[in-house]
Structures are given as structure tokens and as C-alpha cells.
């Protein structure tokens, strides 16, 4: 059918109404006149595919990446820059409005530059005698070969071709690849390899040496990591403190993004933040910068991340400022009575948010709360609980840490009314 695209939905696909329901067509922008095909029905409407662009909308731009369209990694490269930024801002505004939230200050979006991403998940696939290394197509298991990527740090991009050669030589079948550019080299994990014989292990060790990797691990089907070659323990710096990180540890996607989030989180902290509870702390991205303002009790459920954090605390003589405590905050959120002793709370949950934990914070009477999120919808839901508990939403900062994707990072600063 022929149609004119009206808006872009929350996942980055343009859509138009068909029989009163939206038909989502990837790679389109508002004002595009297109020929599209319906391919499936979804709860929110219909999924479609672009057959032909008949005439472009005013916000359409030339995608900068030659892989765009086939590769499923980016969704919005066809959107002109100012329209792109306005769309991302609108996603936050919609979420806040839906929850009836009005921050006293809404800061302009901070952008992280291309070629700054330090962690990436790749896919590899055997096709006849060829090994394809790249990203999966949208809604598909098919892997698109990637020779370059505008998102990645050069240290990660430079591994793409050598990885394909390695997997071709080692009898690779199928599996995932996780790579992180650390301060002292790349931490690489490979799936789909059975390193049970000495010859293969020697080949992998030679690859680690040739590519100057910090560590090479094997990734099993359950997502577990077996370090195979450790030439030096991979390290990242959080607030100037070196942390030896385990394989697969969660990190902010870029150093620039981490620093921007840290600045937004700490902007309201002062001498009165003498005791801070940090919830969902991971390996300490924000813990060490927070410790400059006061004592930090850091809570995390992941054992490997918590061990890395605690090791850095002890190694760097910070036991007098930071404690690392294991706690599953989904099963056992900190109660309001436990939180009442703190002068500030910082929480940074996964995309699902932390509804139960937010409800406890709302009853705690803690003077200052900082909410960090990668999901505007769950951010707004959790912050609404805090506002209903007597907090004022002082400001919201936003970060475009994932260029050309629909994702937005948020930081909300809240103060208890009367403070």
C-alpha cells in the first residue's frame, strides 16, 4: 500500500494509521511518502517493511554508515540531526507528562560522540566456508558482515577482520562475541569454540598475543565466562580509581557517557551528603566519585561485580569511605527504616526500573534522592512514587549515550519537600 508516514514510534520506526491502527515501517521519517508491505500483526498495530521511498519527508537525511538498513544496530541514521534530537527529547517529555511530572529544571540533552563506544556484543555465523562477523539484522538471526562501525572505539573496530580470520581457522560453528575496550587493552570473550585441545588453546593464546589483548575468555551457552589467556588483568578507572573488572561486567557504554552521568549525579551533592546509599552499584562506576562527598554504602546483587568493587576499595585504601554489600534489591529492597539513616540515596536499576525499591525510598525521609535510568517509562513510574511520597523533582538531565538508537539515559534529582 502507499501511505504517508506521520510520526516515529518509541522504537524508532515511522508509522501511519491503517484501519485506525499504526503500521510501523522501519527506516522511515515523518512526511515520507512510501510504498510499504504489511508483514505481521503486533499488539500495538502492524509491522511493515519499506518497499519503495516515493518521496522523502523534510527531516530525511543521508545515513552516514554504508551498513545502515541491513544492519540492525542503528535505527535513526536516516533522520536529520535536529529532528533526531527533538525526537529523543520528546520521548522523555512524553514519559514525564504521562506520569504528570514537571521538573523545576529540564537540562538540554548531552551527546556522546561517535566512535566512543567501549563495549560491544557481536554475532558470528558460518555461511558455507565463510565466517561472518557483525550485527544481526533487525528481528532476525541473520548476521550482517560489518567491516567498520561508526559507534565503536578504534580498538574494537580493528578487531573485526582479525576475528573473522581467527574463527575461520579454528572451526567455529556459531556463537556470540563480547568485547570491551579497557584502559589497558581489549577484554574479549568468544562463544562457539570448544577449547578442549592444546592446539586450539595455543592458537587462541597466539591471537591474544598478536592483537595485544588484555584477556581472552570463552563464553559458554549459559553466558558463563572461562578466562583462557590473561596477559594482564583488564582495568577501568572510575573517578580515577583503577578497578580490575571481571569478564562480562556491566559498564556504561562509553567513558564520555559515564563521566556525563557522574557529573549529573554529583551536581547536587555537597558537604551535607555525609552518608550515601548507592543501590544497584555494579562494579563502582559511580561509587568512587560519590565517595569524595561522604561515606558510601554500595549495594549490588552480582557477585563478580561486587568482588571487583570490594577489591578496588581494599587495594586503594578506601575501606574507610566505602563498604560493598551484597543484596538483591528486587527480592529484598532496602526498607524505609534502613534508608532513614542516609543523607542521600542514588539508585541506578536495569531497564525494568525499581518500583518496590522506589516505594521504600519514598517513605524513608532521605533529604536527597538521585534516580538514574536508561528507560524513560520506568524512570517516570519510579519518580512518580517519590513525588507522591513528598519529594520535589528538582531537575532532569538526559544523555544520548547510544547515537542513532531510540535509547535515552536520564538522571533525576529529587529533594524532600521542605529541604
Task: Write the pLDDT tens digit of every residue in 210-257.
Answer: 999 999 999 887 778 999 999 999 999 999 999 999 998 999 999 999
* Confidence category of residue 368, pLDDT binned at 50, 70, 90: very high
CB-based contacts of 199: which residues, under 8 Å, 6+ apart? none
Angle at 354 between CA 325 and CA 96, to 5 degrees: 140
Residue in the block written with cell 522506589? 358
Give the DSSP letter string of 176-222: EEEEEEETTEEEEEEES----SHHHHHHHHHHHHHTT-SEEEEE-TT
The ranges assigned to domains in the chain are: 2-60, 86-113+251-416, 119-235
pTM to 2 decimal places: 0.94
Please give the angle made by the CA atoms of 236, 239 and 240, to the nearest 5 degrees.
70
Mean pLDDT of 154-180: 87
According to DSSP, residue 294 is labeled S
**Which residues, 6+ apart, have CB-to-CB distance to 333 below 8 Å?**
354, 356, 357, 359, 360
Q: Which fold has domain 119-235?
A: OB fold (Dihydrolipoamide Acetyltransferase, E2P) (2.40.50)
Q: Rg of the Cα trace of the chain?
A: 23
Q: What is the residue-averaged pLDDT of the chain?
A: 94
pLDDT at position 285, please?
97
Q: Tell me if 86-113+251-416 shares its fold with 119-235.
A: no
What was the pLDDT predicted at 119?
95
Q: Which fold has domain 2-60?
A: OB fold (Dihydrolipoamide Acetyltransferase, E2P) (2.40.50)
In eight-state DSSP terms, residue 170 is T
Q: Is 374 a residue of the active site?
A: yes
Edge-first strand listing for the sheet containing 2-4: 2-4, 33-42, 45-55, 21-25, 14-18, 7-8
Domain boundaries 86-113+251-416, corresponding CATH code = 3.40.50.150
Q: Is 130 helix (H, G, I), strand (E, B) or coil?
A: strand
Confidence of residue 195 (pLDDT cuts 50, 70, 90): low
In angstroms, what CA-CA distances link 24 with 13, 39, 404?
Answer: 6, 10, 18
Q: Which of 74, 149, 182, 374 is catalytic?
A: 374
CB 265 within 8 A of CB 285: no
Q: Are strands 275-279 and 295-300 parallel, antiparallel or unpaired?
A: parallel
Q: What is the tens place of the pLDDT at every residue in 283-320? A: 999 999 999 999 999 999 999 999 999 999 999 999 99
Q: Summarize pLDDT for 243-255 with one digit per residue, the tens.
A: 999 998 999 999 9
Amino acid at each position: 500500500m502507499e501511505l504517508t508516514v506521520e510520526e516515529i514510534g518509541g522504537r524508532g520506526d515511522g508509522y501511519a494509521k491503517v484501519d485506525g491502527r499504526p503500521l510501523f515501517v522501519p527506516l522511515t521519517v515523518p512526511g515520507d511518502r512510501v510504498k510499504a508491505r504489511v508483514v505481521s500483526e503486533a499488539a500495538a498495530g502492524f509491522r511493515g517493511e519499506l518497499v519503495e521511498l516515493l518521496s522523502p519527508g523534510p527531516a530525511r537525511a543521508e545515513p552516514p554508515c554504508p551498513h545502515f538498513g541491513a544492519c540492525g544496530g542503528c535505527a535513526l541514521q536516516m533522520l536529520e540531526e535536529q529532528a533526531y534530537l527533538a525526537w529523543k527529547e520528546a520521548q522523555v517529555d512524553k514519559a514525564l507528562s504521562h506520569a504528570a511530572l514537571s521538573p523545576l529544571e529540564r537540562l538540554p540533552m548531552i551527546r556522546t560522540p561517535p566512535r566512543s563506544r567501549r563495549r560491544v556484543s557481536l554475532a558470528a555465523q558460518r555461511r558455507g566456508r565463510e565466517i561472518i562477523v557483525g550485527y544481526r539484522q533487525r528481528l532476525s538471526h541473520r548476521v550482517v558482515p560489518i567491516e567498520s562501525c561508526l559507534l565503536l572505539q578504534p580498538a574494537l573496530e580493528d578487531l573485526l577482520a582479525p576475528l573473522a580470520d581467527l574463527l575461520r581457522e579454528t572451526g567455529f560453528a556459531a556463537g556470540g562475541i563480547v568485547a570491551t575496550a579497557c584502559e589497558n587493552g581489549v577484554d574479549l570473550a568468544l562463544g562457539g569454540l570448544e577449547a578442549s585441545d592444546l592446539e586450539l588453546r595455543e592458537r587462541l593464546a597466539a591471537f591474544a598475543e598478536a592483537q595485544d589483548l588484555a584477556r581472552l575468555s570463552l563464553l559458554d551457552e549459559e553466558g558463563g565466562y572461562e578466562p583462557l589467556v590473561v596477559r594482564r588483568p583488564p582495568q577501568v578507572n572510575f573517578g580515577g580509581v583503577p578497578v580490575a573488572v571481571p569478564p562480562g561486567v556491566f559498564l556504561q557504554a562509553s567513558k564520555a557517557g559515564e563521566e556525563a552521568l557522574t557529573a549529573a549525579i554529583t551536581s547536587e551533592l555537597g558537604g551535607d551528603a555525609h552518608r550515601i546509599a548507592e543501590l544497584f552499584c555494579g562494579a563502582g562506576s559511580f561509587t568512587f566519585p560519590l565517595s569524595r562527598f561522604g561515606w558510601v554504602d554500595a549495594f549490588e546483587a552480582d557477585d563478580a561485580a561486587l568482588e571487583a568493587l570490594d577489591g578496588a576499595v581494599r587495594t586503594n585504601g578506601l575501606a574507610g569511605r566505602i563498604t560493598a554489600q551484597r543484596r538483591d534489591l528486587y527480592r529484598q529492597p532496602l526498607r524505609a527504616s534502613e534508608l532513614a539513616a542516609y543523607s542521600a540515596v542514588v539508585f541506578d536499576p536495569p531497564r525494568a526500573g525499581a518500583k518496590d525499591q522506589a516505594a521504600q525510598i519514598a517513605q524513608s525521609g532521605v533529604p536527597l534522592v538521585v534516580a538514574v535510568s536508561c528507560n524513560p517509562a520506568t524512570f517516570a513510574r519510579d519518580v512518580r512514587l517519590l513525588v507522591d511520597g513528598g519529594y520535589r523533582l528538582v531537575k532532569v538531565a538526559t544523555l544520548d549515550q547510544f547515537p542513532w538508537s531510540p535509547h535515552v539515559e536520564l538522571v533525576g534529582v529529587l529533594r524532600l519537600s521542605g529541604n
